[in-house]
Structure 1
Amino acid sequence: MKKTFILIVLFVLPIVAYLFFASGVNNFGRLPILTENIKELNVEGSDIKFEDRITVLGFLGGNVENRKGNAFNLNQKIYKRFHEFKDFQFVMLLPYGTEESTEELKNELATLADVEKWHFVFSSPEIVKVVFESLQTDISLDAELGTPYVFVIDKDLALRGRTDDEDEGTKYGFNSSLVSDLNNKMVDDIKIVLAEYRLALKKNNAERTK
């Protein structure tokens, strides 16, 4: 009995704990849809779209230098963890005039990770506002058209988030200034969305083979 107990403690409990924390409590159901019909990107000179992609959408604003810390946090905590998943992308929507400073940021990020799925899209302030407002959140852009918050958009142009977050109630986005928000919440929520599509794909494949 003593040996059995020791074996359970050493092998079984760690596995159970890992599965629990790796999946996250919130992962036992679908991640709620908060807003449907997000405004699709339709920017001249860019072929980047939301549809059929799982997107982390951000707004770096007109002063990219001030948002570098946010970009590095996202790169280290979210992008490097998920960028190898098919159809996953980062999209940062910025106003015209930020191209040069954004290129500097992209080059710095490239020293830390493969930035193939980091997409920087430049547009007019009006389009930046239209896309942001289509999210229908309780968050606002600053005077530079930026925010530290990023948003998870699914393949069907729907904003995903939480309706019963312990801190915010309805949680529309994730504060990239706070590593704790990225580690403790955003990682879990992206796992859920990716798992949903993996399960749907398996189901479709199984039905085709019947």
Structure 2
Amino acid sequence: MKKKIVLIILLVLPLSCYIYFALAKHNALNLPVITENVSELPKGGTLDNKPVSLQGSISIVGFLGNDITKKKETVFNINEKINNKYKGFTDFQIVMLMPKGEEQEVEKVMAELKVMADISNWRFLFVEPNQIAEFHSSLKVKEPMDADNGTYYLFIVDKNRKLRGRDGKMKDKKTGKYEFKDGYNSFIVAELHNEMTDDIKILLREYRLALKKNNNLKGVKREI
């Protein structure tokens, strides 16, 4: 009986993964690189006193500014549309750069969210406003920062600290248009639900295919 269950899992899991990744609205094998060499995160404090970095992780990077309470609804939207879908993937994290002094307000909002969701992939980094501005500049995006050191836009940074998005050469099946996108407006739920989740799927599929290819090459070497 146990052998049958194992065989069923081995057959169903790859098929499920294929169907999941095939749901992307455009069939690009790779999510284009918009900016090379994004800076590593500045040094600062975290809620759990553990270091946080971009290298080696698929990161959703955001800037909530001086008043997280004002953007609380947006935080809940990000958690529902992004974190809940991808929290099970290895090396996935949501990183928010915050001005120092916002620790207590962040803790209050996340305490509310923790009651209804798994927030283990959320990381908050508290740094000086000039450090936030310098890091944002390294993204080289068209979306400016607000006066309160924040923005509603989220950014996808891959394991090698490259900003990913749409480079104007990818056609969206739904609209038929070629679209440039270096950030995703978290205030617009439809943009999170449709465009950002779609692009994250492509990036995850890219890593999955690369891992599969590397494993196949290792297998060939062993046979030789």
> The TM-score by the shorter chain falls in which range?
0.7 to 0.9
Q: What residue is the counterpart of 1:186 in the other structure? A: 196
- Give me the whole-angstrom Cα distance separating, in 1, the residues matched to 2:21 and 2:207: 21
Q: What residue is the counterpart of 2:164 in the other structure? A: 160
Q: What residue is the counterpart of 2:33 in the other structure? A: 33
- CA displacement, residues 122-175 of structure 1 (integer Å, 9 cap, x when unaligned): 001111011111110110111111111100000010000112276894211111
Are 1:207 and 2:207 matched, yes or no? no
Q: What residue is the counterpart of 1:145 in the other structure? A: 149
**Structure 2 segments unaligned to the other structure (5+ residues):** 1-18
Q: What residue is the counterpart of 2:52 in the other structure? A: 48
**Structure 1 segments unaligned to the other structure (5+ residues):** 1-18
1:30 partner SS? coil
- CA displacement, residues 94-119 of structure 1 (integer Å, 9 cap, x when unaligned): 01011110011111121121111100
- CA displacement, residues 45-68 of structure 1 (integer Å, 9 cap, x when unaligned): 451000110000000000111111
1:28 partner SS? coil
Q: Is the 8 A contact 2:155 2:182 kept in 1?
A: yes
Count of matched residue pairs = 193
Q: Match for 2:215: what amino acid?
A: N
Identity of aligned residues (%): 42
1:26 partner SS? coil
Q: Is the 8 A contact 1:61 1:145 kept in 2?
A: yes
Are 1:172 and 2:182 matched, yes or no? yes
* Greater per-residue helix proportion: 1
- CA displacement, residues 18-51 of structure 1 (integer Å, 9 cap, x when unaligned): x599522323331110001111013144510001
Are 1:59 and 2:63 matched, yes or no? yes
- Give me the whole-angstrom Cα distance separating, in 2, the residues matched to 1:194 and 1:35: 18
Q: What residue is the counterpart of 1:69 in the other structure? A: 73
- Give me the whole-angstrom Cα distance separating, in 2, the residues matched to 1:26 and 1:133: 29
Q: What residue is the counterpart of 2:14 in the other structure? A: none
Q: What residue is the counterpart of 2:208 in the other structure? A: 198
- Give me the whole-angstrom Cα distance separating, in 2, the residues matched to 1:124 and 1:156: 25
1:199 partner SS? helix
TM-score (norm 1): 0.86
Q: Match for 1:29: what amino acid?
A: L
